[in-house]
């Protein structure tokens, strides 16, 4: 099994207790308020008009007119894209979200992990996570668009791009093999809904639709996503709040002697003297964080949700 955040079952098994604050992911802990739903979204199969309405809301929210589709999270697209055609040479800008390389290898691709954007050129398929998880590295849209002409397919995973809309290349999806992934669960804080989007050329979307089957997204997800994506005031207020709270978290970490590696408005990654020891120290206070098997010092924290969680984290970092 690959390591991921959100594994509170492992935290409870190791450290005990039930009153955990899960900061091991980049999921917004002040989520979008669930709207009332009509009964038919639970009792009837999802309809074509409902799917179309959600896609239209997503295209408007992400600033694109490209062909697209909704899936059960961006993860579903990560698993499906490598299997659309014969495998070849893939390059992944790393370190990053570990499912990209893993799913490519599982589909038979020859995968090389590279450290520079320019090293992706020449690949049959290249992957960039922008902003990157876990270091927050970003790449200008102009650089990504230039790269898309130098690879067979460029997959840009924008799962953490909602707080910085200017980074997105979704408007150009479908050109020169550019394929863009978007997450819903992270920024809107409803990861359990399992909703995400892929935008690409019409042929790619048709192939994904054929592979996904007639009902890739549930009726409740279609309705909640449509409403939430169109709520521009909530999005603007959330972007502003996250920006301020990211700086607040940086100040707490600095007070604990940690230094900022990078991050986004949804998570921050810090260099610590000893990441496993830092994780254990927070875990004793029932706060779950994320460390990485390839770094002895990096620790990632999501942002707390609400005054009580901020208070517990502040007290834990002051110890």
CB 128 within 8 A of CB 155: yes
**106: how many CB neighbours lie within 10 A of its CB?**
13
Q: What is the DSSP string of 66-99?
A: S-EEEESSHHHHHHHGGGSS---EEEEESS--TH
Average pLDDT over residues 103-131: 98
Q: What is the pLDDT of residue 262?
A: 98
Which pTM value belongs to this model?
Answer: 0.97
Buried b (16+ CB within 10 A) or exposed e, 33-51: eeeeeeeebeeeebeeebb
| 58-80 tens-digit pLDDT | 999 999 999 999 999 999 999 99
| 19-30 tens-digit pLDDT | 999 999 999 999
CB-based contacts of 96: which residues, under 8 Å, 6+ apart? 127, 129, 132, 133, 134
pLDDT at 1 over 60: no
CB 51 within 8 A of CB 43: no
pLDDT at 291 over 70: yes
Q: 85 - beta bridge partners?
A: none
CA distances from 236 to 61, 182, 187 (A): 12, 18, 12
**Confidence class for position 319, pLDDT limits 50, 70, 90:** confident
Indicate the SS3 state at residue 155. Answer: strand
Return d(Cα 278, Cα 293) in angstroms, integer.
14
**Confidence class for position 4, pLDDT limits 50, 70, 90:** confident
CB 111 within 8 A of CB 88: no
The count of C-alpha atoms lying within 13 angstroms of the C-alpha of 74, restricted to the half-sphere facing its C-beta, is 22
Distance between terminal CA atoms of the chain? 33
Domains assigned to the chain: 8-31+233-318 (3.90.1150.10), 39-230 (3.40.640.10)
CB 165 within 8 A of CB 137: no
Average pLDDT over residues 31-50: 97
| 222-243 tens-digit pLDDT | 999 999 999 999 999 999 999 9
Average pLDDT over residues 99-107: 98
pLDDT at 2 over 80: no
Residues comprising the chain, all counted: 319
Percent of the chain with pLDDT over 70: 100
Indicate the SS3 state at residue 137. Answer: coil
CA 34 from centroid of its chain's CA atoms = 20
CB 221 within 8 A of CB 234: no
Range of weakest confidence among 1-5, 184-188, 266-270, 311-315: 1-5
Query: Which residue in 24, 301, 26 sits closest to 158, CA to CA?
Result: 26
């Amino acid at each position: 099994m690959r390591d991921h955040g959100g594994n509170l079952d492992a935290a409870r098994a190791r450290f005990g207790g039930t009153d955990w604050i899960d900061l091991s992911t980049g999921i917004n802990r002040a989520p979008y308020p669930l709207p009332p739903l009509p009964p038919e979204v639970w009792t009837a199969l999802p309809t074509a008009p409902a799917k179309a309405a959600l896609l239209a809301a997503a295209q408007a929210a992400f600033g694109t007119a490209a062909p697209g589709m909704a899936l059960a999270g961006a993860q579903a697209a990560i698993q499906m894209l490598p299997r659309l055609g014969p495998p070849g040479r893939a390059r992944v800008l790393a370190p990053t979200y570990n499912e990209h390389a893993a799913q490519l290898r599982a589909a038979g691709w020859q995968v090389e992990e590279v450290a520079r954007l320019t090293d992706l050129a020449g690949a049959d398929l290249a992957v960039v996570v922008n902003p990157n998880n876990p270091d927050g590295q970003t790449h200008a849209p102009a650089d990504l668009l230039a790269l898309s002409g130098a690879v067979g397919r460029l997959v840009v995973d924008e799962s953490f791009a909602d707080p910085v809309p200017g980074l997105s290349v979704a408007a150009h999806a479908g050109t020169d093999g550019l394929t863009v992934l978007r997450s819903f669960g992270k920024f809107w804080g409803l990861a359990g809904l399992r909703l995400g989007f892929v935008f690409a050329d019409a042929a790619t979307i048709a192939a994904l639709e054929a592979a996904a089957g007639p009902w890739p997204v549930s009726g409740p997800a279609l309705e909640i996503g449509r409403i939430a994506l169109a709520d521009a005031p909530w999005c603007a207020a959330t972007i502003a709040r996250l920006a301020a709270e990211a700086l607040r978290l940086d100040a707490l970490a600095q007070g604990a002697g940690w230094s900022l590696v990078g991050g986004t408005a949804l998570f921050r990654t810090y260099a610590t003297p000893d990441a496993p020891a830092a994780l254990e120290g927070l875990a004793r206070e029932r706060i779950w964080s994320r460390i990485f098997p390839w770094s002895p010092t990096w620790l990632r924290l999501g942002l707390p949700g609400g005054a009580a969680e901020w208070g517990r984290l502040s007290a834990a970092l002051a110890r």
